[in-house]
């Protein structure tokens, strides 16, 4: 579903698709140390190519932000939990770091504890919606717009940090996005693969697979919306079933062969 949504987004945003096409062309037109330029343009994709396509990686991250297939996830607080309310941070008012605070201040803080936290009794089930978190205007600028560039600086920083710590290769295939998928994402509001102890064990493989499959497709074809008589093609509607998937109409796109690319 991630591939379907990403393909649809690129088809409906030709300016973003063109950036990806140029990146792919640049990768396969660059001669490697052991091949000529012409043979390089015809060589198959390899896992190591995944980390050489940051624009496509950003597109994939943005696609999962707007349309995360796992649109809602559940957790079971077996032993109960206490969650800070919005705006209180990790520490409630009753947990002041100032040990010299007066007793009256301490008393006042204690009385506010009930309003600083959500208290979950043991065996409480909690539903978390990545779809809503990914579109929260307090966490994202222009949350409903498809803007892959919002990830560019983060991916570059992730690469620089990895090189500074002696981990220049990054994730599988050299992907730069894996640190951004740890925990709750770069701003505490991004979890397309879940988070915590039960985060998706296949996240790194899924990211590498997504980048390589899309690159293989876009290497030979451009994506365009289907032609509609007397109107403009609409973006596929989403239905929240077990996963966030296209409606019964599915994702219909045109594949236009790219004559400049040789198989």
Residue ranges with strand state E in the chain: 73-77, 81-84, 117-120, 124-128, 221-224, 238-240, 244-246, 254-257
- Residue (of 160, 200, 166, 167) closest to 182 by Cα position: 200
Q: What is 2-72+130-257's CATH number?
A: 1.10.630.10
Please give the pLDDT value at position 187: 87
Please give the pLDDT value at position 92: 34
Asked if 244 and 1 touch (Cβ cutoff 8 Å), the reply is: yes
Tens-place pLDDT, residues 163-193: 656 555 567 778 989 888 887 888 889 999 9
- Sole residue written with tokens 């396969």: 28
Tens-place pLDDT, residues 213-247: 999 999 999 999 998 877 788 999 999 988 999 98
CA distance 241 to 22: 36
Please give the pLDDT value at position 161: 73
Q: Which two tokens stand for residue 216?
A: 């293989």
Please give the pLDDT value at position 114: 58
Q: Where are the domains of the chain?
A: 2-72+130-257, 81-120
Strands 254-257 and 221-224 turn out to be antiparallel
Whole-structure pTM value:
0.81
Please give the pLDDT value at position 170: 62
CA distance 139 to 135: 8
Please give the pLDDT value at position 20: 97
pLDDT along the chain (263 residues), means of 10: 96 97 90 49 88 96 96 90 68 36 43 72 93 95 97 88 59 83 87 86 92 96 89 90 89 87 45
Beta-bridge partner residues of 194: 192
Please give the pLDDT value at position 93: 36
Beta-bridge partner residues of 77: 124
């Amino acid at each position: 579903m991630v591939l379907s949504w990403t393909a649809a987004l690129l088809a409906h945003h030709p300016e973003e698709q063109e950036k990806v096409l140029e990146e792919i062309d640049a990768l396969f037109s660059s001669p490697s140390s052991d091949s000529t330029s012409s043979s390089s343009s015809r060589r198959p994709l390899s896992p190591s190519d995944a980390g050489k396509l940051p624009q496509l990686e950003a597109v994939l991250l943005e696609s999962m932000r707007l349309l995360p297939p796992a649109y809602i996830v559940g957790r079971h607080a077996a032993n109960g939990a206490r969650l800070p309310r919005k705006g209180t941070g990790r520490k409630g008012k009753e947990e002041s770091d100032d040990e010299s605070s007066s007793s009256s201040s301490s008393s006042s803080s204690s009385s506010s504890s009930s309003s600083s936290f959500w208290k979950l009794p043991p065996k409480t089930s909690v539903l978390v919606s990545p779809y809503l978190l990914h579109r929260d205007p307090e966490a994202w600028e222009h949350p409903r717009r498809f803007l892959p560039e919002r990830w560019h600086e983060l991916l570059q920083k992730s690469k620089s940090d990895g090189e500074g710590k002696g981990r220049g290769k990054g994730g599988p295939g050299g992907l730069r996005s894996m640190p951004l998928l740890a925990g709750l994402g770069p701003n505490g509001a991004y979890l397309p693969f879940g988070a915590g102890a039960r985060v998706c064990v296949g996240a790194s493989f899924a990211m590498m697979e997504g980048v390589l499959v899309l690159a293989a497709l876009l290497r030979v074809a451009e994506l365009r919306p289907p032609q509609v008589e007397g109107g403009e093609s609409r973006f596929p509607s989403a239905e929240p079933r077990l996963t966030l998937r296209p409606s019964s109409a599915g994702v219909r796109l045109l594949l236009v062969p790219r004559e400049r690319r040789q198989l």
